[in-house]
Structure 1
Amino acid sequence: MNSNDSKSGLRKTLWNALLLNANFYEHARNTPRNRRIALTIVVLAAFSHLLGSAIILLINRAPISVLLPALILDGLSVVGGYYLWTFMVFKTGQWLKPIDPTYGDLLSPIGFAYAPQILNFLTLIPLLGQTIELVLAVWSLLAVIVAVRQGLDISTRQSTLIGLVGWIPIQIAIGFVQVLEQEMVK
């Protein structure tokens, strides 16, 4: 596979994920290629979040001794949130319905659901940052609901419950990280 095929595959995957294309999630098989694309999306989401935070921290004149740890924490929180949310989807899915997919099988669809987070750098827009962040978080939640519904062949109600079980703690953790960064800057 050449570089153009890889870029085209990523672009097409992003587009389908952003549109919440149920057919895409239904047929997104857990292959090494899809896992790489999903992880690329998560890393791009982490970088986008990191970029927005870096600009905000620089505007607030955060010293380098605060800037670097805060940015590392930002990047790791997005990637860690991805693995945690996938684990929570897996465990909740097992509890609600004995499911066939393994934890590893869920990494690709949940990674694809992080596609809206690639726009996270937009949170640096004055007065709109928190609203944009909430819209992107809800968009990712909706993508996870579609991915879980299609991937586990369950009802929308069940997939919503499964998605929310992971989404709520992730949002609380993100808020905690943001408060911690604000305190570090003071």
Structure 2
Amino acid sequence: MAFNAESFQVMADLPNANQIAIQVLLLVGFSQAVGQGLILFVNRVKPTRFVLSLCLGAILFVFSYGFWIGSTFLVSRFLFKQALDFQEVYYTVGLATAPQLLSFLIALPYLGVPIQVILALWALLVFVQGFSVSTGFGLWQSFICGLLGWVFLQILQRTVGRPIGALGKWLSNTTAGTHLVTDLQGIETLLETGLQGNANYQGHPK
């Protein structure tokens, strides 16, 4: 998080580098799920399912980043014709998400979106530095690898990845115990319905 290149060099010598990377990804995914927990609250998800949904969100985040790691690895190898170690790419991307441990702050009113953008840019800069240290690529090469890897991932998600996205959505709805409304208009409707229900309840006490 502090742009310390030595942390990536030290990671390369650790026998449990993969485990640390996945732990960071899980924590980041959980933090993001907490930041987006308002959606679960508005959908009136029960407390137990609420917690389970947060945990599922963390797991799905790890899977989504796994695809980005794979796409970045493929782009790096085919674009620059260098034999890279997949493990290096894996733990570098995992560690680079560390700034997004603060993703729970996106729940703040008005400040949520700016914070989300800042954290994304912060993570990108950490990735560029870490990827450069781990692979020996230049900073611009690392930036291009990360960017094209992300573009390739977006293409995959909108084509062959659609069934996987549908499965993730089904898992989220099943875990929450309801069909989650996530679009802005639907959330506004749920909020208005809840407010009207409270007003009716207060106006006609038992």
Change (3 A) 1:24 1:67: closer
For 1:80, the aligned partner's letter is: F
Contact in 1 for aligned 2:12/2:134 (Cα 8 Å) = no
CA distance in structure 2 between the partners assigned to 1:140 and 1:167 by the alignment: 13
TM-score (norm 1): 0.73
Q: Which residue, out of 80, 84, 91, partners 2:74? A: 91
Task: Give me the identity figure in percent.
Answer: 26
> Match for residue 182 of structure 1?
182
Rg larger in structure? 2
Q: Does 1:57 align with 2:39?
A: yes
Aligned to 1:161: 144
Q: Are 1:57 and 1:67, in contact at CA under 8 Å, matched by a contact in 2?
A: no
Please list the CA deviations of residues 21-59 of structure 1 after superposition, one character each: whole Å capped at 9, or x if unmatched. 1232244316442211111111110111111111x1255
Match for 2:4: what amino acid?
A: N
Equivalent residue number for residue 28 of structure 2: 45
Corresponding residue number in structure 2 for 1:3: none
Q: Which runs of 5+ in 2 are unaligned?
A: 158-164, 170-179, 191-206
After superposition, where does 1:117-136 map in structure 2 within 5 Å? 117-136=100-119
1:86–1:77 CA distance, 2 compared to 1 (3 A): same
- AA matched with 1:64: V
Q: How many residues align?
A: 163
Give deviations 1:100-151, integer Å, cap 9, x for gaps: 3322332111111010111000101100111111111111111111121111
* Cα pair 2:71 2:150 within 8 Å, conserved: no
Instruction: Report the residue type matching 1:182 in the other structure.
Output: T
| Unmatched segments (≥5 aa) in structure 1 | 1-17
User: Please, what TM-score do these two structures have when normalized by structure 2?
Assistant: 0.66
Q: Give yes or no for the alignment of 1:36 onto 2:9.
A: no
- 3-state SS of paired residue (1:46): helix
Over aligned residue pairs, what C-alpha RMSD do you find?
A: 3.0
Letter in 2 for 1:152: T
Q: Which amino acid aligns with 2:131?
A: V
CA change 1:69–1:35 in 2 (3 A) is: closer
* Aligned counterparts of 1:28 and 1:58: Cα–Cα separation in 2: 36
Structure-1 separation of matches of 2:57 and 2:153: 13
Q: Secondary structure of 1:100's partner?
A: coil
